[in-house]
Each structure stands twice: as C-alpha cells, then as structure tokens.
Amino acid sequence: MKVVLKDGSPLEVGDDASVYDVAEQIGAGLARAALAGEVNGQAVDLRTKVPADSEIAILTFDDEYGQDAFHHSSSHLLAQAVKRLYPDAKLAIGPAIDQGFYYDIEFARPLSDSDLEKIEAEMQKIVKADLPIEKFTLPRAEAIDFYKKQGEIYKVELIEDLPADAEISFYKQGEFTDLCAGPHIKSTGQIKAFKLTSLAGAYWRGDEHNTMLTRIYGTSFPKKKQLEEHLARLEEAKKRDHRKIGREMGLFMTHDAGPGFPFFLPNGMVLKNSLIEYWRELHDREGYKEIESPIILSRKLWEESGHWDHYKDNMYTTVIDEEDYAIKPMNCPGAMLVFSNRLRSYRDLPLRLAELGRVHRPELSGALHGLMRVRAFTQDDAHIFMLPEQMIDEITGVIRLIDEVYTKFGFKYQVELSTRPQEFLGEIADWDRAEENLKEALAAMDLDYKINAGDGAFYGPKIDFQVEDSLGRTWQCGTIQLDFQMPIRFDTEYTGRDGEKHRPIVIHRVVYGSIERFIGILIEHYAGNFPLWLAPQQVVLIPVNKEAHGPACYQMQAELDSIGARASVDDRDESLGKKIRDAQMQKISCQLVIGDRELEGRTVTVRRYGEKEKIPYGWDEFKAWLQEQISQRLDDQAGKR
C-alpha cells in the first residue's frame, strides 16, 4: 500500500506496516532516532499500524511531540523506580513538560535529595534492562477494579471521571503498568541520560483543599552530552535568577503583606520607567493616543463584555453601594467605552488607543514566582479601531512594532496562531474570517508560524509571540488579537462614507505583555548587565581619597546629570577595593576611580561591568560617548509608517 511522507513524497510499504517499519524503510539512522510518529496529524506510538494513503511523519527528539513521548516515557520510568523502592507510594499524574517531566506522588514520609539519588539508581537499572513498553486497553469497570486492588486511589478517581463506555488505555513495562493515553517510546533502554532535578509540593488537581502530594521533577535526553549541556544551562539560569539579582541590585521586593503583589524599589522604578519612556516614544511615533481607564468597574460592564460569564474565576470582585463590581483583569472594556464616548466617523479610523493599564488576576499561591507570575501587573495594552480595508495594514504595523522592540533587546522569537476555542462568542463564519485575516497578515510579513489549535481568546483568534532569551528559554509576551465580537456586544459604531452606521473591527495587542514579567525576563536575559540606556545605575564615581577627590567627583556627577546620565558618588569610609567590589555586585555599568592623575589630566579610566579591560577616556570624550549610548534608546524613525 501507499503512504505519504511529511515532505509530500509517496512511499510503498507492506500492508501490515507500522510507523516504525516506515522509519526503517526510509533509513536505518532515522529508525534509530525515531521516538514516535504522526499519522494524519495525530501523534502515535511507533508500533501503530498505518492505514493506506495516510500522511506519515517520523518524530525524533528534534520534534515537539517526539520530545513529549520521550519525556512522558521518562516519567513512567521514574514511577516504576518509585514503586520498586516505596511500594506503598500512591501515584497521581506524571506528564511531560517543557524540557522534562514530573510525577505527583503521595509518600508516607517526606523525601530528601538522598532519596532522589536512590530513585535515579533504580531508574538506571530499568534502563539497562531495556524493557519493552507495550500498550493495552481495558473496559472502564475493569480498569477501576484493576487499580482498586492496588490501592491506587488517584488513578481510580481519574478513571471514574471518564465516560461509562470508555475503553481505558495502559502502558506496561516489566512489572509496572500505568494509566496513560500515550504515545510512548519503544523501550526503556532508549532513555540514555536523565536527572531528577528537584522536589516540590503540589495539591491534587491543583485544589488547596485536596491532599498535598510530592512532585518530583526531572529531565531526560537521548544522549549524555545533551543532558550535560542542559544541566549547565540550568546552573547558569540559577545564577541569573531574577529574584536573586533583583535583591542584589535593589530592583524589587516581595512581602507577606501582599503575596503576588511586588514592590518596586528605587532602582527598579528607574528600570521600569525607562521601559515605559521607550514605549511611549515608540507609540507617539506610531500615532497612538494614550488613555487611562478605571481599575474597578461595575459587574454590568463585565457582563456586557462577556468576561463575567467566561472569565469570572480570574477576577477579583467587590461590592460598592450594594452593587457588584470587579477589579479589572484586562483593559478592553474601558477602551470600548472611550471609543464610544463621542460620535466617530470613518475619518477617525484607524484610531489607536494605548493604555498602560494596571490589572489584577487571582493566581494560586503555589504558582507565584517573583515577577514572572504575579497577581497585579501593568499591561502595555492598545486597542486599534479600524475599517475592514485597514485590517491587514494595522496587523502588519503591530508586527513591525513588536519586531523592533524584541530586536532592540536581542530577542529571537517564534510565532503562533491561536484559533477558535471550544467556548467562544459570535458566529463561526466571523471566526473563520478573522483567522484568515491573521494568516494573510503573517504571509505579508513572510513570518513562519505554527497553529496553536483552540487556544484563542473567547472573543477572537490571536497571534502570540514567544521570545527566546540568552539561555534558549521561551516566554510568551506579545500578542495580537483580532476581535469582531466586542464591538457587537458594546454596540460600538462609526459613521461610514455612506452616512450609515457601521461596526469597527478591533485589534487588542500588547508588546511587553506584562511589564513586570518583561522586567523579570530582561533581568535573566542580561543577568542584570543591562544595556547602558536601560541600566538603573549607569555611572559610579569612586574617589581615591574622600577629602582630596570627593568634591571633584560631585562636580563630575553634576556634569553627568546635566546630560541625562544616572550617576552617583561612593564616598563611604570603606576601602577602595570594597567600593569596587560593591559596584560590581550592584552591576553598575561604568565604574570610575578618581584620583590625582585623573583630576590633573581631565581623564577617566572606565571599568565596564562584566569586562576585564579598563578603557581610558578624556573626560569630555567620555561624556560624549555616554550621551551617545543613552540616546540609542530609540532608533531614528525605525519602522515608521
């Protein structure tokens, strides 16, 4: 029979061929690297028989679903080792995650790092045994009985939530069997390199009223070298942890008085305001008008927007004058009210309304993480109201703006198109049209993208931008959401050329996303060594002798202040060495030691943070260089329409 390969070429295979047989027929090297397959777009085991005329892809560790199968099989490897060492442990769930896996397990006693070493040793034995991984199914009632006999209460609960007529799939390796939909790799021997990385607590099903389980995190790779490189990146990530650097540089703090509500310190406010100033310059150039909407708005408004029905669990609510109100989780309804504040004409469009809106969303306490996951943050939001014929130009204009910002910070990025979710507002025809418009705009910008099916907002499809930092990690930041629904719900109108009333189309978009989160990403991306224009402390002047050189340092500080530089003088009664070390710890961009020689020759020797070489400048030359570096914040007319 014939099948079609990923590149579109046909291949003749045997009538009983499996995905693995196809891989072998293509080449022995591919067969060795194969981890899973894809048949007509669905991820499957290598053992899966292929139907005639089906589209086949062989998945390796370079493919997302190939990695998922490998990591998911690694979680089963972990669970098997745990059950051998701790027979009374009760297994919950063990999914693949980005760059690894975890398993939630109930233990009779807390685990320690020494337990992880024992589990790793047992996992290694299972790998060496090269146990085949085999799939089988049972009817729901038999599956429940299977786990009840073993006392696996969490597995029983998972199966009981499935339909009564469901057939339940399992994967078996040696004496160990786990409930799983798959796919999985062929055998345990393929997991050549792994490491259990950490322990954490996790409530069963994320509900704080349920049992606290032990979550064991791990990572795994087909080759030892890949694991070593990954662990080296993790060590580097620890050094770059934005919480650690934030403390050292005096950027932000957290407090039990407000979990998930970060406090920005003076240096952090300099950093945040520098980002906002840059944002405002860009948006002024691009013709945006800045607005501000209230933080608290009535329930009626949120019902009108659809958020009360579709997003209420992500909103803080309150009561004012015996009426329900909500603290806004997003800014869109306020922008809709601003647009409708007066009569609008087609001549007013496109109207680009930008807002640095403070929003609040309740996050589980266990999910809070520095600036990366908070309960209050600032969205660099904008809503563009436009005519249908302006849509492609406006979308591509936002894409150019996002590209300019990410390029400024040295970020590469990936693009995803998220389509209609299961719960949505409006007509399917409008959704289909919106998705096609976004595809057309991406094609116009010649951008590669992947489809993220079903992950659109409830009111429209969207383009998401995943930025990649210096460690290769990706973060979802920018988004462009195309909305035909909100104007209908708010009865938003403009007067067209024909004198009749029409509904505008709306783009919802952010560039930074959450400014707080973006700062956290920048801290780790640069390891605190920010570009000079962004650095909270740009220059420190360190007098060799406080009495002899201190007054001159303050005069030099005044000159630097006058050109817009952020400078300070360290005239503490400490040794010169300690002052230099402290300046390094605080990651001050330029450190200048001032003594007799510098004052007599009007020169400075600049020690840049993170660089070994010290650079001599004439004083006026240094000021000119510094001013030029600071002014590079906004490239001249870059991307201007």
CA angle 400, 391, 281 (to 5 degrees): 40
Q: Given the structure tokens 């939630």, which residue do they identify?
A: 104
Q: Is 462 an active-site residue?
A: yes
pLDDT at 640 over 60: no
Which entry of 67, 173, 190, 379 is annotated as an active-site residue? 379
- The answer to whether the beta carbons of residues 218 and 196 sit under 8 Å apart is yes
Q: Given the structure tokens 């049209």, which residue do they identify?
A: 433
Cis omega (within 30 of 0) on the bond before 350? yes
Q: How many other CB atoms are found less than 10 A from the CB of residue 172?
A: 15
- Which pLDDT belongs to residue 1? 83
Q: Quick one: which of 327, 331, 325 has its CA closest to 355?
A: 331
Cα end-to-end span (Å), the chain: 55
* Rounded Cα gap, residues 635 and 620, in angstroms: 24
Least confident of 164-168, 293-297, 320-324, 451-455: 164-168
* Rounded Cα gap, residues 248 and 48, in angstroms: 54
pLDDT at 637 over 80: no
pLDDT at 638 over 80: no
DSSP label at residue 132: B
Neighbour-count burial for 273-292, b at 16+ CB within 10 Å, e otherwise: ebbeebbeebbeebebeebe
- The answer to whether the beta carbons of residues 519 and 246 sit under 8 Å apart is no
Dihedral of CA 472/476/480/481: which sign? Answer: positive
* Rounded Cα gap, residues 68 and 99, in angstroms: 9
pLDDT at 296 over 80: yes
Which entry of 76, 195, 361, 408 is annotated as an active-site residue? 361
- The answer to whether the beta carbons of residues 327 and 317 sit under 8 Å apart is yes
Q: Is 590 an active-site residue?
A: no
Tokens, residue 103: 């398993």
Q: Is 379 an active-site residue?
A: yes
Q: What is the mean pLDDT of residues 330-353?
A: 96
Q: Quick one: which of 79, 127, 148 has its CA closest to 107?
A: 79
Q: How many other CB atoms are found less than 10 A from the CB of residue 620?
A: 11
Which entry of 76, 90, 195, 383 is annotated as an active-site residue? 383
Residues of the chain with pLDDT > 90, as a percent, come to: 75
User: Which pTM value belongs to this model?
Assistant: 0.79
* Rounded Cα gap, residues 23 and 445, in angstroms: 36
| pLDDT tier at 629, thresholds 50, 70, 90 | confident
pLDDT at 46 over 80: yes
Which entry of 83, 215, 344, 508 is annotated as an active-site residue? 508
Tokens, residue 133: 């991984």
Q: Is 383 an active-site residue?
A: yes
Tokens, residue 71: 């990591």
Q: How many other CB atoms are found less than 10 A from the CB of residue 111?
A: 17
CA angle 152, 139, 183 (to 5 degrees): 75
CA angle 30, 31, 36 (to 5 degrees): 95
Residues of the chain with pLDDT > 70, as a percent, come to: 99
Least confident of 257-266, 420-429, 491-500: 420-429
Least confident of 295-304, 467-476, 575-584, 593-602: 467-476
Cis omega (within 30 of 0) on the bond before 183? yes
Q: Quick one: which of 232, 217, 228, 237 has its CA closest to 193?
A: 228
Query: Coil, strand or helix: which one is 617?
Result: strand
Q: Residue 158: what residue type?
A: L
- The answer to whether the beta carbons of residues 388 and 503 sit under 8 Å apart is no
| pLDDT tier at 206, thresholds 50, 70, 90 | confident
Question: Mind listing the pLDDT tens digit for each residue in 387-411?
Answer: 999 999 999 999 999 999 999 998 9
Q: What is the mean pLDDT of residues 210-214?
A: 94
Using CA atoms, how far residue 4 sits from 12, 31, 33, 53, 315, in Å, is: 9, 17, 20, 6, 48
Using CA atoms, how far residue 39 sits from 8, 95, 182, 285, 624, in Å, is: 13, 22, 14, 49, 62
- The answer to whether the beta carbons of residues 615 and 598 sit under 8 Å apart is no
Tokens, residue 78: 């972990």
Instruction: With residue 213 as reference, give the H or E element that holds it.
Output: strand 212-221
- Can you give the length of the chain in residues? 641
pLDDT at 459 over 90: no
Q: What is the mean pLDDT of residues 293-298?
A: 96
Q: What is the Cα Rg of the chain in Å? A: 29
Which entry of 462, 549, 566, 579 is annotated as an active-site residue? 462
Which entry of 115, 178, 186, 332 is annotated as an active-site residue? 332
Tokens, residue 80: 């098997």
Query: Coil, strand or helix: which one is 186?
Result: coil
- The answer to whether the beta carbons of residues 72 and 78 sit under 8 Å apart is no
DSSP label at residue 206: G
Tokens, residue 514: 């959450």
Q: What is the mean pLDDT of residues 593-600?
A: 95
Q: Is 502 an active-site residue?
A: no
Extended strands (E) in 231-375:
252-253, 263-264, 289-290, 296-298, 316-320, 323-327, 351-360
* Rounded Cα gap, residues 384 and 398, in angstroms: 10
Q: Is 381 an active-site residue?
A: yes
Neighbour-count burial for 320-352, b at 16+ CB within 10 Å, e otherwise: eeeeebbbbbbbbbbbbbbbeeeebeeeebbbb
* Rounded Cα gap, residues 106 and 92, in angstroms: 8
Q: Is 223 an active-site residue?
A: no
Tokens, residue 527: 């390891």
Name the average pLDDT for the chain: 92
Q: Residue 622: what residue type?
A: F
